[in-house]
Structure 1
Amino acid sequence: MAVDVAVNGGVGSIISISNFAFEILAFEASVRQSRMAAARRRSIRDQHAQDVATYVAAGGEESVQRVITGLYAVTRKLDQWYQRQFVDLSLSQGEWAVLSALARAPEGCLTPSHLADRSSVAPSSMTHRLDKMSARGLLERRPDEANRTRTLVSLTDDGWALFSTAIREANVVESETLAALSDAERHELARLLEAVITGLDDSEG
């Protein structure tokens, strides 16, 4: 066919046909990607339904299992993305735990022993972790003015900037996760989850 076109239509016709063929291939690739995305969505939904049915058959209450299994499925999917984000930010999960704990600390600082307790690691392991993060300029250590035997750890400006970058990037993915819900539905879901959290506080009291 290329020979016929070259004789009858010239090089311009060959280029036109090549462009048309490229557009067809691009369209087919787009369709395949859409189908693969739909298949992934179906597989998550189908896996959730199967898990719920299994737990109910084993004696679980359906309404409870639908909620708890659903929460687990969402958390597991987000965790997969968070792990990739840690790699992109050159952070280990343990280092992220330190960043997050310091960013959320009421006074903006914690002791190394407090950080070790929160992370369930030995103090020596936490010291090594803090050394690495300090070398990157993410945190600083200083004596506690109220108790000179204690050391306080806090984020540097670079540490806070990295934490803020991670949160903004994650918020994009988290928003996409909730894209199927309207604003009103998001607020209602948040209200219900906060009621569950309040119940956890009451049960521990």
Structure 2
Amino acid sequence: MGARRRTAQQQHAEDVASYVAAGGEETVQRVITAVYAVTKRLDQWYARQFADLGLTQGEWAVLAALAKAGDTCLTPSQLADRSSVAPSSMTHRLDKMAARGLVKRTPDQTNRTRTLVSLTKDGWALFSAAVRESNVVESDTLRGLTADERDELGRLLEIVIAGLDDVEA
């Protein structure tokens, strides 16, 4: 019989112990290692979900960027920047997404050399479906917390996020 698989909690404790043994501060390692573990597990789930929906993670990044922009159209360069990809890669991605009817490209009326990209109804519907499906697993991830604990965790993580710009990477 094979070795028993460690639980996420056991793996976390082992990881923290290793980092502390190497000189890391325990409270810092507990938090950062936990955030990393949750992020890694969710990323694995998102990758499977996107595949089930016929999306790549790159296409998801475009849908999300356009959805977050609201009624504002974005240029391919802006989308490349927000998705952390080369502009040439974005052009190919947009070609595929436009062919599937997820995005629409229109000439910029104020600058004829630019193209503006927006979500189509089908693109918005796919974005919405992905968000609704994600919400199920995200809620399950937080099921061990009360509503007040979720609020507190959100508040604390927002403080961490606010300080990210001050950290040199």
Q: TM-score, normalised by structure 2?
A: 0.91
Offset, 1:106: 5.0
Partner of 2:7: helix, strand, or coil? helix
Q: Distance in 1 between matches of 2:37 and 2:86?
A: 31
RMSD of Structure 2 on Structure 1 (CA): 1.6
Which is richer in helix?
1
Partner of 2:78: helix, strand, or coil? helix
Q: How does 1:91-170 map to 2 (within 5 A)?
A: 91-105=55-69, 107-170=71-134
Runs of 5+ in structure 2 lacking a partner? none
Amino acid at match of 2:164: L
The residue number in structure 2 matching 1:72 is: 36
Alignment length (residue pairs): 165
Runs of 5+ in structure 1 lacking a partner? 1-38
Offset, 1:60: 0.4
Amino acid at match of 1:76: K
The residue number in structure 2 matching 1:10 is: none
Partner of 2:101: helix, strand, or coil? coil
Ranges of 4+ aligned residues in structure 1 off by more than 4 Å: none
Post-superposition Cα deviations, 1:157-193, rounded to whole Å, max 9, x if no partner, equal: 1100100000000000000000000000000000100
* Residues 52 and 62, structure 1, Cα contact 8 Å, conserved in 2: yes
Amino acid at match of 1:57: A
% same residue? 74
Q: Distance in 1 between matches of 2:78 and 2:149?
A: 38
Post-superposition Cα deviations, 1:1-53, rounded to whole Å, max 9, x if no partner, equal: xxxxxxxxxxxxxxxxxxxxxxxxxxxxxxxxxxxxxx76x521111000000
Q: TM-score, normalised by structure 1?
A: 0.76
Offset, 1:197: 1.1
2:162 matches 1:189 = no
* Residues 86 and 92, structure 1, Cα contact 8 Å, conserved in 2: yes
Offset, 1:203: 4.9
Q: Distance in 2 between matches of 1:169 and 1:55?
A: 35
Offset, 1:146: 2.1
